[in-house]
Amino acid sequence: MKPATNSTRQLEKAKLLIFSGRHQIAHSTLDHLVNYFNPGDVLVVNQSATLPSSFRGVVERTQAFIELRLAAFQGPDPAHLENWMAISFGTGDWTQPTEERGVAPFVQAGDRLVFGEDLSATILRVQEGRLLSIQFQSQSLLKSLYQYGKPIQYAYHEKPLAIWDQQTLFSGPPISAEPPSASFQFTWNLIFQLQHKGVRVAHLLHSAGISSTGDSHLDRWLPLPEWYEIPQETCTLIQETQWNHRRVVALGTTVLRALESATTKGQLVPGRGLAKVKIVPGYQCQWADALITGMHEPGSSHMQILDSFCPMELIQQGYAEAVSLGYRGHEYGDLSFLNCA
């Protein structure tokens, strides 16, 4: 499937691939989404905003060039953004495919990475050579992250992205490394239509992490443990919806992961933590009955999540039809609605 190569959003005219039951495939546009909801259903959205998460600097000990891409926020809360897992890259930039970048410099625990006059990071732990646990240092960290950082982006983009290109309708605290992009095409008009029909909207926070490291071995670590917060009112609304035999629809895979990670002894527990659950083929999601998500690459961790909602044979058939109809993939592309329960 061809990727969307720029940040221009189709909004309600985005194509919508619908999987219903175990055998049905339909094609529509997002402005008809309300037709696939029922009164009493709940749409759960991720309110995380996206930080500029690519930083170019040097390893202080060796003066080697390094690009650091934030991969997963580690908490403890959105007011304290010091602790992250990150991926190191060598020479090159976003215009090159990640797998063709220069070799990342050798680093070790204790190394200091310098990105600007008032922004540095200490490496706390190194895994697999490029997977780093870091802690930022700055007199004014949030300001410095925006001053020295750039959006993470990939070679299929036509031109550099601006940080506002990565925000969604629901963006609140900036804790994501890459956008929770299933929300990109949503408008307030669409939300108001859903609410008018009797659909309720609930929210949570989840730090959407990096989508690609450029190394198939490292990619198997994804998604990494990512910070989340779920309020009591969201838990209560989801549980009431299930008791009333209505559907909970997750807007994006980050919503799914937060909900499943917040489960203790079969109960959805409000609060904060690190999302560690990996949703793989055959996994039975306890809290979401349906999923709205983008069009994903075959073999990606996101595609495995789809397999937990619908038979992979049906998904592959739907994707084949979508390719023939000109759907666009990746974060600024079209959407699918999996409602196979």
Output the DSSP codes for 117-152.
TTEEEEEEEEETTTEEEEEEE-SSHHHHHHHH-B--
Q: Do 80 and 212 fall within a single domain? A: no
Q: Do 123 and 167 fall within a single domain? A: no
What is the model's pLDDT at position 300?
64
What φ, ψ does residue 46 adopt, rounded to 5°? Answer: -100, 120
Q: Which domain holds residue 207?
A: 11-49+160-339
Q: Using CB atoms within 10 A of its CB, is residue 217 exposed (0-12), middle (13-18) or buried (19+)?
A: exposed
Render 33-69 in DSSP notation, one character per residue.
Answer: GGGG--TT-EEEEE--EE---EEEEEETTT--EEEEE
Tokens 């196979």: give the residue: 340
Helix, strand, coil % (nearest 5) of the chain? 25, 30, 45
Q: Do 235 and 274 fall within a single domain? A: yes
pLDDT > 70 fraction of the chain, expressed in percent and rounded: 98
Residue 96 has pLDDT above 90, yes or no: yes
The CATH number of residue 283's host domain is 3.40.1780.10
Across the chain, mean pLDDT equals 94
Residue 50 contacts residue 171 (beta carbons within 8 Å): yes
Q: How many residues does the chain have?
A: 341
pLDDT band at 341 (very low <50, low <70, confident <90, very high): low
Tokens 């730090």: give the residue: 207
Peptide bond into 223 cis (omega under 30): yes
Q: How confident is the model over 284-337, as pLDDT tens digits?
A: 899 999 999 999 776 666 777 887 788 888 989 999 999 999 999 999 999 999
Residue 6 lies in a domain: no
CB within 8 A of 68, min separation 6: which ones? 54, 55, 56, 57, 86, 87, 88, 89, 113, 115, 121, 132, 134
Q: How confident is the model over 238-268, as pLDDT tens digits?
A: 999 999 999 999 999 999 999 999 998 889 9
- Of 108, 126, 148, which residue constitutes the final position of a domain? 148
| Category of 292 on φ-ψ map: left (φ > 0), alpha (ψ -120 to 50) or beta | beta
Average pLDDT over residues 59-68: 98
Q: Do 31 and 79 fall within a single domain? A: no
Average pLDDT over residues 183-206: 97
Residue 298 lies in a domain: yes
d(CA 226, CA 254): 9
Q: Do 246 and 277 fall within a single domain? A: yes
Residue 98 contacts residue 154 (beta carbons within 8 Å): yes
Q: Do 45 and 70 fall within a single domain? A: no
Tokens 């939300």: give the residue: 191
Encoded tokens for 21: 């039951």
- Name the strand (E) or helix (H) holding 259: helix 253-261
Residue 161 has pLDDT above 70, yes or no: yes
d(CA 279, CA 305): 6
> Which value, in Å, is the radius of gyration of the alpha carbons in the chain?
20
Residue 4 lies in a domain: no
What is the model's pLDDT at position 266?
86
Q: Do 280 and 299 fall within a single domain? A: yes
What is the model's pLDDT at position 297?
75
- Of 97, 120, 148, which residue constitutes the final position of a domain? 148
d(CA 102, CA 91): 5
Q: Do 99 and 189 fall within a single domain? A: no
d(CA 174, CA 49): 4
What is the model's pLDDT at position 47?
98
Q: Do 200 and 321 fall within a single domain? A: yes
Beta-bridge partners for 27:
17
Q: How many Cβ atoms are within 10 Å of 304's Cβ, its own excluded?
A: 18
Q: Do 211 and 247 fall within a single domain? A: yes
Q: How many Cβ atoms are within 10 Å of 38's Cβ, its own excluded?
A: 10
What is the model's pLDDT at position 279?
87
Q: Do 109 and 255 fall within a single domain? A: no
Residue 32 has pLDDT above 90, yes or no: yes
pLDDT band at 235 (very low <50, low <70, confident <90, very high): very high
The CATH number of residue 130's host domain is 2.40.10.240
